[in-house]
Structure 1
Amino acid sequence: MGLPPVGPTWRIASLAIAVGVLAPVVSLAWIALGSGLGHWTNLLQNVLPQAALNTALLLAGVGAMVLLIGTGCAWLVTVCDFPGRGMLHWALLLPLAMPTYIVAFAYLDLLHPIGPVQGAIRWLTGFESPRQFRLPDLRSLPGAILVLGFVLYPYVYMTARAMFMTQPAHWMEAARTLGEGRAGAFFRVALPLARPALAVGLSLALLETLNDIGASEFLGVNTLTVAVYTTWITRSDLAGAAQIACAMLVVVVALVGLERHGRRHQRFGSAQRMHALQPRRLQGAAAWLATTVATLPVLIGFVAPALYLVWETVKRLRLGHGLSPGLIGSLGNTLGLAAGVTTAAVAGGLIVAWATRQSGSTPTRTRWQARAASLGYAVPGTVLAIGLLTPALAFDAGLATLLGLPGLPLMAAGVVLVAACTLRFLAMPVGGIEAGLARLPPALEQASRLLGENPAGTLRRVHLPLLRPALAAAALLVFVDAMKELPATLLLRPANFDTLATWLYAEAARGTYEEGAIAALGIVLAGLLPVVLLARTQLAGAATAPRHGHPSS
């Protein structure tokens, strides 16, 4: 017996949300196509070639790094037992708490020619000045690849480790029996089986790389995202920015296609109960080498920049400077923005997920709406901001005329910024609530409806109490990501409105690192919350994995 079909109100609300996510993309294309050939000719000759090349090289370099680090660390902590393994298998997730622009901000000061790292090296080697010895400049494409690679590898690590933990050990044992060494068994059996999971993790890391604006600009790499921002803000050329953003959408479509391809083939199973891979205990130098290799990504991607932020914060507070009123105001703005985005995104996600759940015998009517509502996360913040700006300004101007208000009331109140961030992060509550609803048997709805309750009453009295964990997890993820969001906030914030992210961006642009470090530390501390929850999930998965059978040789 299927579920009763949902009423038209839920379907209309879900449709409106899906259309709202798609509207900026349509608006973006309209702006780009309506600006004439002159813009396109100038962009194709002077802007796009170098920006597209930098973006391609950055994506290729970051992709290679995250695959190498994420896959290598996932395999190491899955099949080997060495000192510190129990801590490292969750600590390797910690760089997720570090936004890329914060790590770039920290390392620019740490690795400055007169900074602590190069100063210590010169002191140890006997050099007296930066003229005699200095490291290669971090402000370069290789520097950006290194910084982003060490921050974003956990996306691949998570998916690869989950796949390695569920691979039956007897497949590896069969490869060893047929004469393959450990390396051969990994490359010919384990790695091909994990390829779909690697594709998913890689696509997420590359989407984050494409969305990045702060780290790329701090490190002097003119990517497509940076070109969109400078074309719009510096040159006041909205049409040109829209055309560059359309070029970015081509890259986004390719990355989303990679992720969908990976998910489509991510089905491996077995009819019989099999034991999982068991870690092989390493001894002596091999054990400590494994510990060192697995620790380096954590040190570079999280520990070193986090210690720097703590040191700079303590130093500033000890000097008696305290927190400036502007920084305190930015904190309040950040919390207010995050709270507004969280409320709107969770409510929208609940509407879409519930309409999909209650679609009766024709789920395709609303399934596409759930997919459309989830597309915002794949669209970079700069692209979403430009696409949303024109319809938002038109609506805002009409509202101001109708109500007799001066200026643009919605833009000035931050409503447009909240809407942009909501559309960008709507995928999290939609996916999380859909997963939570999938665990609830349809008999609950059937019993409630037979007792005379309507869909809204069934949701309020039956499902919402059962969905509290899923709602709380979705709200936490949206809240933290809204606190960290930089591109859309830079482009759509009201006048004289700063968040911690934009405050840090401004401080880094001025080269004043001390107060920027306090803002960065606040963002990192907030980002640790979902990482801790994710680490607990990883620990729970490791604890429930099968432990019977023989260790893999």
Structure 2
Amino acid sequence: MNEAPAARLISAGQKSLRPLSRIAASVAVLAVLAPILVVIFSWGSDQTEIWQHLIATQLSSLLRNTLVLLMGVGLCVSVLGISLAWLVVMCDFPGRAKFEWLLMLPMAVPAYVLAFVVLGLFDFSGPLQSFLSRELGLPLIDVRHEAVVVLVLSLVLYPYVYMLARSAFLSQSSDTIEAARSLGSGAWGAFFRVALPMARPAIIAGVSLALMETLADFGTVAVFNYDTFTTAIYKAWFGFFSLQAAAQLASLLLLFVALTLFAEKRLRGRRRYVQGSQLHHHFRHPLTGLRAWAVTAYCLLVLSVAFFLPVLQMLIWAFEVGAAQLDARFGALLWHSLSLALQASVLTVAIATLLAFSRWRAGPRQRAFFDLAQLGYALPGSVLAVGVVISFSRIEQQLLFPLQAWLGMEARSVLVGTVLALLAAYWIRFLAVASGPIDASLLRIRPSIPDAARTLGARPLEVLWRIYLPMLRPGLLTAAILVFVDVIKEMPATLLLRPYGWDTLAVRIYEMTSEGEWQRAALPALTIVLLGLVPVIISIKRTLK
């Protein structure tokens, strides 16, 4: 008897705030698209002289270096990630259970941190080469080589492939592998013909993430003086003082990003691999003798070079400099990093929550539109910084400055060169990072629960406050932590957009490594690594479940 009034009450409750939330979500999507569009349309500005100089001196090397990095990192992360995932899933060797989660720790080390540690240890003036040259008379080796740049990036980025490949291998039934073996395939044949093709979508996704991070990297290539499009954007902006030339270079980098995403989609293809039997993984091949210890040594070598060695060396350097560096300057750097990360995480989580609710019961076309907000994560920080500055400059020139003149106020910039520009870049860049945990938590809420609250007379805001937010709390907290740490590690956007006097830990590392002051960069880097362990630990707990 009461079903019709109850249905009308539920419908009214759902629709009362939906238009406002949809409008706000649409504005957020347009805000993400704005930097992309202004970078793409930057070619309307004539920068002939700068481009003539770039073509004559740098452009060919920029293209070559970027392609070398992409191919080298793609190959290395594939080899490292797939081999390590296969060994810990399918083989039994000393330390396997520990390595299964320890191999994720390099995710906490930013690539630019490992880069300056490698140079500090192995450069001409480093302790290792100095000792070998002095005691053994060995010739000096130049470690500022593109192969070393590829290796540094690969050691930090292989966990993307490792985690996804490990999950894919774990989801494969041992019966499938054993069936292939019983039909005449050897161990390698079963791997290449059965296990690897079934894990291919996950592996391609992991490699794509690693390549996106490679394209976005600025700190590592800057430490090695290895010119790529990210360093060229910085030089065009602050060397040639041409924001439009920087935007045009950014559009070329954006083209590389688009090609990477297109290649990922094509490589995944339309093929699907389905398990025909019940999923259960119950068998690991026991390794004994020399083979077992060789596998253990391999895992330990990768982990030591990618995590233990840089952390230990930074501790040594930090103690060498002593407590003198724990001064007011370091306190200001830490405060700027933490305050920016806190503001960005709150803002990003709020926008991600709004988008999650807008997508939740939207139609296919609306959902596809709202999904465009995820594109921000594909934007390198340098590209995003250029797009944000140009967008904010046009808003000021066409709207705010005339408004200030009409009000009789002195024209003053309130967007460009302020914390607002940094926060805009952060939430656009890391919105996809926050959306994952929030979307997952929202999907676990049974619609009958908020519907029941509405039938009992709860208003939409009351349902949001008393039902949704408490049930979303774990996802919201995880999203905030992930964004918080990513903002602290972010270098290029912070370096390009920070207001005067707003240096952060990442900016301090760039300044010190630019001058070869490895010891003075150790404490800020160690602080970032320790903070970066938080999301890694969260990922470890999830993957072990």
Partner of 2:373: 373
Residues 272-281 or 528-537, more deviating: 272-281
Deviation string, structure 1 residues 410-449 (Cα, Å, up to 9, x no partner): 3454111111111100111222211111111121232233
C-alpha deviation, 1:277, in angstroms: 5.2
Residues in 1 aligned to 2:427 and 2:390: alpha-carbon distance in whole angstroms: 17
Residues 281 and 315 of structure 1: CA distance in aligned 2, closer, same or farther (over 3 Å): same
Residues 274 and 488 of structure 1: CA distance in aligned 2, closer, same or farther (over 3 Å): closer
Q: Is the 8 A contact 2:389 2:416 kept in 1?
A: no
Partner of 2:326: 323
Q: Are residue 54 (structure 1) and residue 65 (structure 2) matched? A: yes
Q: 2:255 aligns with which of 250, 253, 275?
A: 250
Partner of 1:194: 199
C-alpha deviation, 1:346, in angstroms: 0.3
Give the secondary structure class of the aligned counterpart of 2:301: helix
Partner of 2:93: 82
Q: Is the 8 A contact 2:382 2:492 kept in 1?
A: yes
Residues in 1 aligned to 2:58 and 2:456: alpha-carbon distance in whole angstroms: 64
Q: 1:419 aligns with which of 419, 424, 431?
A: 424
Q: Is the 8 A contact 1:309 1:517 kept in 2?
A: yes
Aligned residues: 529
Q: Is the 8 A contact 1:78 1:165 kept in 2?
A: yes
Paired residues for 1:142-291 under 5 Å: 142-260=147-265, 268-270=273-275, 272-276=277-281, 278-291=283-296
Residues in 1 aligned to 2:282 and 2:62: alpha-carbon distance in whole angstroms: 45
C-alpha deviation, 1:49, in angstroms: 1.9
Unmatched segments (≥5 aa) in structure 1: 541-553
Partner of 2:4: none
Between the aligned residues of both structures, percent identity stands at 38
Deviation string, structure 1 residues 86-137 (Cα, Å, up to 9, x no partner): 11011111110010111101111011223222244446xx325xxx422x32
C-alpha deviation, 1:350, in angstroms: 0.5
Deviation string, structure 1 residues 22-61 (Cα, Å, up to 9, x no partner): 0001111222333366655554454332101110011100
Q: Are residue 67 (structure 1) and residue 78 (structure 2) matched? A: yes
Residues in 2 aligned to 1:118 and 1:43: alpha-carbon distance in whole angstroms: 36
Letter paired with 1:133: P
Residues 5-14 or 219-228, more deviating: 5-14
C-alpha deviation, 1:482, in angstroms: 0.2
Q: Are residue 354 (structure 1) and residue 357 (structure 2) matched? A: yes
Unmatched segments (≥5 aa) in structure 2: 1-6
Give the secondary structure class of the aligned counterpart of 1:467: helix
Partner of 1:313: 318
Q: Is the 8 A contact 1:480 1:527 kept in 2?
A: yes
Residues 98 and 109 of structure 1: CA distance in aligned 2, closer, same or farther (over 3 Å): same
Paired residues for 1:13-32 under 5 Å: 13-32=24-43
Over aligned residues, Cα RMSD in angstroms?
2.1
Partner of 2:146: 141
Q: 1:127 aligns with which of 118, 121, 136?
A: 136
Letter paired with 2:83: G
Letter paired with 2:67: A
Letter paired with 2:433: M
TM-score by length of 1: 0.91
Residues in 1 aligned to 2:425 and 2:174: alpha-carbon distance in whole angstroms: 46
Q: Are residue 103 (structure 1) and residue 103 (structure 2) matched? A: no
Letter paired with 1:379: L
Residues 176 and 272 of structure 1: CA distance in aligned 2, closer, same or farther (over 3 Å): closer
Residues 261 and 437 of structure 1: CA distance in aligned 2, closer, same or farther (over 3 Å): farther
Deviation string, structure 1 residues 269-290 (Cα, Å, up to 9, x no partner): 4464243152122111111001
Q: 2:489 aligns with which of 484, 493, 503?
A: 484
C-alpha deviation, 1:18, in angstroms: 0.3
**Structure 1 runs (4+) greater than 6 angstroms displaced:** none
Residues 368 and 454 of structure 1: CA distance in aligned 2, closer, same or farther (over 3 Å): farther
C-alpha deviation, 1:160, in angstroms: 0.4
Q: Is the 8 A contact 1:345 1:425 kept in 2?
A: yes
Residues 311 and 396 of structure 1: CA distance in aligned 2, closer, same or farther (over 3 Å): farther
Paired residues for 1:3-14 under 5 Å: 4-5=14-15, 7-14=18-25
Residues in 2 aligned to 1:69 and 1:238: alpha-carbon distance in whole angstroms: 39
Residues in 1 aligned to 2:165 and 2:70: alpha-carbon distance in whole angstroms: 20
Residues 14 and 160 of structure 1: CA distance in aligned 2, closer, same or farther (over 3 Å): same
Residues in 1 aligned to 2:343 and 2:475: alpha-carbon distance in whole angstroms: 19
Give the secondary structure class of the aligned counterpart of 2:136: coil
TM-score by length of 2: 0.92
Residues in 1 aligned to 2:497 and 2:32: alpha-carbon distance in whole angstroms: 16
